[in-house]
Structure 1
């Protein structure tokens, strides 16, 4: 891919992270509730963390290993979160991960963004499988996955250590055959 993809949904734009997003990224990601339910978002979250994330997104795009989108709310084009794919080219699959600012929780935005990214994964990237996972303490994320047709594939006990606490990780997956059967 030469240029970063843009995806539009009914209420959202999914596009490239920009340096001008840094103040909003820091404002929204520096929230203990965000950090508590994600594997990779630290607390407190600093400008340095936002710069690292944007640079990681750019490098991952160049290498074809990550596709990390800003989630922007229409019509203001306001940054409200992030969603991305960690791509494993050897096995033709990707893991989807996401976070959204707390003021936008429980409004269906992550379900909408995930649906669009999953569709992009199968129709444009031609992946074989999309996976995802969540802490057992975050059942809302599991609901997002199920709403998008993903099936629970397993549970890894005490699998992730974050803030000196071990978390169980719930695993989900969706194959291209399952995706296309759901679409038919």
Structure 2
């Protein structure tokens, strides 16, 4: 794929991350609640972190092993979060990760974006399986995965050390065969 894809849903655009997004990324990701409920977003979150994320996304796309999208509301084309997949070609699968800025959470945007990414991966990248996980202290993320059609596959006890404590990690998956309705 030469050009970064643009995915359109009912209410969202999923597009390439841009330098113009840096201030919004920092504003929304520099939130303790976002950090506490995700595996990889640090707190505090700085401009340097946003630049690193955008560069990592660009490098992943160039290498063909990662697609990281900005989640944007269609009506204003403004950044409200991110969603991405890391592809493991050897096993023809990808892992999904996502986050939604707190002012926009609870509106179904994460589910809408996740469903679109699943469709993109199965239809355009011919992937066989998607996996994802969430911290046990973030059941809302588990609900996103369930609502997107993913199935719980397991639980890793005390798997993540964050904020001076061990947290269980809940695993989800969906194969192409399971996705056929």
Q: So what's the TM-score if we normalise by structure 2?
A: 0.98
How far the C-alpha of 1:161 sits from its partner, in A, is 1.5
Deviating 4+ runs (over 3 angstroms): none
The match for 2:172 is: 172
- State the 1:165 CA deviation: 1.9
Measure how far apart 1:167 and its partner are: 1.2
Q: What is the CA deviation profile of residues 1-40 of structure 1, one whole-angstrom value per residue up to 9, with x for unaligned ones?
A: 1110100001100010000100000000000000001000
**Matches of 2:137 and 2:16, distance apart in 1:** 30
For 1:148 and 1:76, locate their aligned partners in 2 and report how far apart those are by CA, in whole Å. Answer: 25
Cα deviation, residue 164, structure 1? 2.4
Measure the CA separation in 2 of the matches of 1:164 and 1:61. 34
Residue 65 of structure 1: how far off its partner (Å)? 1.5
Where does residue 35 of structure 1 map in the other structure? 35
The equivalent residue for 1:62 is 62
Cα distance in 2 for partners of 1:9, 1:92 equals 25
SS in 1 for 2:168: strand
Q: CA deviation at 1:51?
A: 0.2
Structure 2: segments with no counterpart, 5+ residues: none
Tell me how far apart the structure 1 counterparts of residues 62 and 168 of structure 2 sit (CA, whole Å).
33
Residue 47 (structure 2) pairs with residue 47 (structure 1): yes
Report the equivalent of 1:131.
Answer: 131
Deviations 1:46-91 (A, max 9, x none): 0000000000000000111110000001111000000000110110
2:110 counterpart of 1:115: no
Match of 2:104 in 1: 104
Q: Residue 146 of structure 2 aligns with which residue? A: 146
DSSP 3-state at the match of 1:146: helix
- Mind listing any 5+ residue stretches in structure 1 that lack a counterpart? none
TM-score norm. by structure 1 comes to 0.97
Distance 1:153 1:93 in 2: 15
Residues 74-109 of structure 1: CA deviation (Å, up to 9, x unaligned): 111000000000110110000000000000011000
